[in-house]
Copies of this chain bind each other. A is one copy, B any other.
Amino acid sequence: MFSFTEENYLKAIYHLSGGAQKSVLTNELAEAMQTKAASVTDMLKKLAVKELVQYERYYGVNLTGKGKSEALQIIRKHRLWETFLVEKLSFTWDEVHEVAEQLEHIQSPRLINKLDEYLGFPKSDPHGDPIPDQHGKLKALPQVSLDQLKPGSKGTISSVKDDDPELLKYLEKIGAKPGKKLEVVSRESYDESVEILLDKRKVFFSKEVSKNILLVI
A contact set with B: CB distance below 8 Å: 85, 88-91, 95, 98-99, 102-103, 106-108, 110-111, 114-115, 118
Contact = CB atoms under 8 A, between A and B. Distances in A.
A108 B102 contact: yes
B99 A108 contact: yes
B95 A110 contact: yes
Contact of A102 (B88, B107, B115): B107
B89 A115 contact: yes
Contact of A85 (B88, B90, B111): B111
Nearest to A99: B108
A107 B115 CA distance: 20
A130 B91 CA distance: 27
A65 to B, nearest CB: 27
A98 B106 CA distance: 11
A115 B102 CA distance: 16
A89 B106 contact: no
A110 B90 CA distance: 11
A131 to B, nearest CB: 17
Given A99-B106, A102-B106, 7 more contacts: A90-B114, A91-B110, A95-B110, A98-B108, A99-B108, A102-B107, A103-B106
A105 to B, nearest CB: 8
Contacts of A102: 106-108
A118 B88 contact: yes
A89 B108 contact: no
Contacts of A95: 110
Contact of A111 (B89, B107, B111, B118): B89
Contacts of A111: 85, 89, 99
Nearest to A96: B111
A102 B109 CA distance: 13
Contacts of A88: 118
Contacts of A106: 99, 102-103
A100 to B, nearest CB: 10
Nearest to A85: B111
A6 to B, nearest CB: 16
